């Protein structure tokens, strides 16, 4: 009787899961395994992981399978389970972070030396990083040509549902509660449940909602933080609760409708493409989370102002759009993408604080932060990344606020102190004078014009 392990990692779903599908098709008995490693997740993501695993357990239970939970070294747990239950084959979907690649290569050698087959699949990218090459056979360093090539060569696989589920193998398992993934004292994630439904069902609900309600006009509306115009799929994709194939299939199907907003559909797919490009960069430049992609930035004179950093983290910079974004992040574990660019530009170009410091804060506070996208995006804004914004592009927080939140709806939602401030002064309350009550809201942390000139001088000297 053939027995297998499917090791869940960044693929917490049953539908459209290639490794799981292969395991179910080929074996009579199966262990569904998840191994927890706290080092691979930011603080906020532990909340999501808890609820995602609850959802996955429920889905597996519907097919008379249980989810075995273990914590610690994957090698030890896999070898123990293999020996105890006479396992023939171990299945997993590939991960693309440098540490994961090294771990999986070594693990495959170890398991095969024990006479165990290892089968790995692509369950999280449209194209694997080594398959997309430029005309010279090298890798792309600019997004647009990368995406043109990537979308041209992508082949959408048919999703084969699991017809026959193997019998489960009884194993010892940790209780999910013993991992203490949910914050309690204080419960800073209390509001997350009002914003999110982790799990496979929540992912499909968000995808369908987006296509039905927000795909039309997405290209124009996606930059308005006060509007519910984006897919909110990023944390679901991060945890693998939905595959990029499912997203691509759904968008391609929507494009068949004669009324479909084709420009918006293609623009949305390019956002999926940026996720692909981020993993592509991380694969070809494994130092992306620590080193500047553009090496000349090694000499950039970053500032080390802990008080300024604290005020940025707490949403107390005195610039309403920046503070609204940082407070949205703390309250919901999420921040609108346009605002992410604003707050990142403010940290790196107004406060001149190292992008790695901002990336670390996002890592611990964002529900959707993954190593590739977080690193690539911060480097892009800071000007040191691949295909980065030109160094002289420094977001003016007031002009950005007036353009993308013209009625101040987003600001008033998150910065309660300014809820009664007239629109004329809302984007720059420091100019209102003494006749306007801004409560305890602080004065601006910096003079943007002067900070901009200093940043430009640094950039010129570096170049």
Q: Is the pLDDT of residue 462 over 90?
A: no
What is the tally of structural domains in the chain?
3
Q: Is the pLDDT of residue 261 over 70?
A: yes
Domain contains 278: yes
Q: Is the pLDDT of residue 40 over 90?
A: no
Domain contains 60: yes
Which residues are catalytically annotated?
271, 274, 302, 337, 355, 378
Average pLDDT of span 421-430: 94
| Residues sharing a CB contact under 8 Å with residue 297, sequence separation 6 or more, in sequence order | 382, 383, 384, 462
**Could you give the CA distance from residue 166 to residue 169 in angstroms, rounded to a whole number?**
9
How high is the mean pLDDT of the chain? 95
DSSP per residue, 273-301? HHHHHHHHHHHH-TTTTTS-SSGGGGG--
CATH number at residue 452: 1.10.579.10
Q: Is the pLDDT of residue 388 over 80?
A: no
151 with 272, same domain: the answer is: yes
The two three-digit tokens of residue 241, written as one number = 């609760």
- Which pLDDT tens digit goes with each residue over 293-304? 999 999 999 999
More confident residue, 462 or 128: 128
Q: Is the pLDDT of residue 1 over 90?
A: no
What is the domain range of residue 250? 125-155+198-284
**Could you give the CA distance from residue 318 to residue 334 in angstroms, rounded to a whole number?**
21
- Which pLDDT tens digit goes with each residue over 334-344? 999 999 999 99
- The secondary structure of residue 94, as a DSSP letter, is -
226 with 304, same domain: the answer is: no
Alpha helices, DSSP H, located in 256-383 = 262-284, 306-314, 320-332, 337-345, 355-365, 371-382
CATH number at residue 62: 3.40.50.620
Neighbours of 402 (CB within 10 A): 16
What's residue 389's pLDDT? 67
Exposed/middle/buried for residue 440 (C-beta within 10 Å: 0-12, 13-18, 19+): exposed
CA–centroid distance for 368 within its chain = 3
- Which pLDDT tens digit goes with each residue over 143-193? 999 999 999 999 888 887 899 999 999 999 999 999 999 998 889 999 999
Domain contains 356: yes
The answer to whether 381 touches 433, Cβ cutoff 8 Å, is no
CA nearest to 437, candidates 418, 424, 423, 455: 418
**Could you give the CA distance from residue 119 to residue 166 in angstroms, rounded to a whole number?**
17
Which of 123, 141, 169 represents a domain boundary (last residue)? 123
């Amino acid at each position: 009787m053939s027995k297998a392990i499917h090791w869940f990692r960044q693929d917490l779903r049953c539908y459209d899961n290639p490794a799981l599908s292969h395991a179910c098709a080929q074996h009579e008995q199966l262990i569904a395994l998840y191994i927890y490693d706290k080092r691979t997740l930011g603080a906020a993501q532990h909340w999501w992981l808890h609820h995602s695993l609850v959802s996955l357990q429920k889905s597996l239970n519907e097919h008379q399978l249980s989810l075995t939970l273990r914590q610690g070294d994957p090698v030890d747990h896999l070898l123990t389970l293999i020996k105890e239950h006479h396992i023939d084959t171990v299945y997993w979907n590939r991960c693309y972070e440098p540490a994961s690649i090294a771990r999986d290569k070594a693990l495959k050698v170890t398991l095969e030396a024990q006479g165990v087959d290892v089968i790995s699949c692509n369950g999280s990218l449209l194209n694997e990083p080594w398959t997309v090459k430029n005309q010279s056979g090298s890798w792309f360093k600019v997004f647009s040509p990368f995406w043109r090539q990537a979308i041209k060569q992508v082949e959408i696989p048919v999703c084969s549902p699991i017809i026959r589920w193997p019998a489960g193998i009884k194993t010892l398992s940790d209780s999910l509660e013993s991992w203490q993934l949910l914050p309690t004292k204080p419960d800073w994630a209390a509001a997350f449940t009002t914003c999110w439904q982790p799990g496979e069902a929540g992912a499909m609900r968000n995808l369908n909602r987006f296509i039905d309600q927000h795909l039309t006009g997405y290209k124009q509306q996606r930059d308005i933080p006060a509007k519910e115009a984006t897919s909110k799929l990023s944390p679901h994709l991060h945890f693998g609760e939905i595959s990029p194939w499912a997203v691509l299939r759904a968008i391609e199907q929507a494009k068949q409708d004669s009324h479909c907003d084709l420009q918006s559909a293609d623009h949305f797919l390019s956002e999926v493409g940026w996720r692909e490009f981020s993993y592509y960069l991380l694969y070809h430049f494994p130092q992306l989370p620590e080193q500047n992609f553009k090496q000349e930035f090694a000499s950039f004179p970053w500032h080390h102002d802990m008080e300024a950093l604290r005020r940025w983290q707490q949403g107390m910079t005195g610039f309403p759009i920046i503070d609204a974004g940082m407070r949205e992040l703390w309250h919901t574990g999420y921040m609108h993408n346009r605002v992410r660019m604003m707050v990142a530009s403010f940290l790196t170009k107004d406060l001149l604080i190292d992008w790695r410091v901002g990336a670390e804060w996002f890592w611990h506070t964002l529900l959707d932060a993954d190593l590739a996208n977080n690193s690539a995006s911060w480097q892009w804004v800071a000007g040191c990344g691949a295909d980065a914004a030109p160094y002289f592009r420094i977001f003016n927080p007031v002009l950005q606020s007036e353009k993308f939140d013209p009625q101040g709806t987003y600001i008033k939602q998150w910065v309660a102190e300014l809820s009664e401030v007239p629109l004329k002064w809302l984007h720059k309350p420091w100019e209102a004078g003494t006749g306007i009550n801004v409560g305890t809201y602080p004065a601006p942390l910096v003079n943007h014009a002067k900070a901009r000139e200093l940043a430009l001088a640094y950039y010129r000297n570096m170049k």
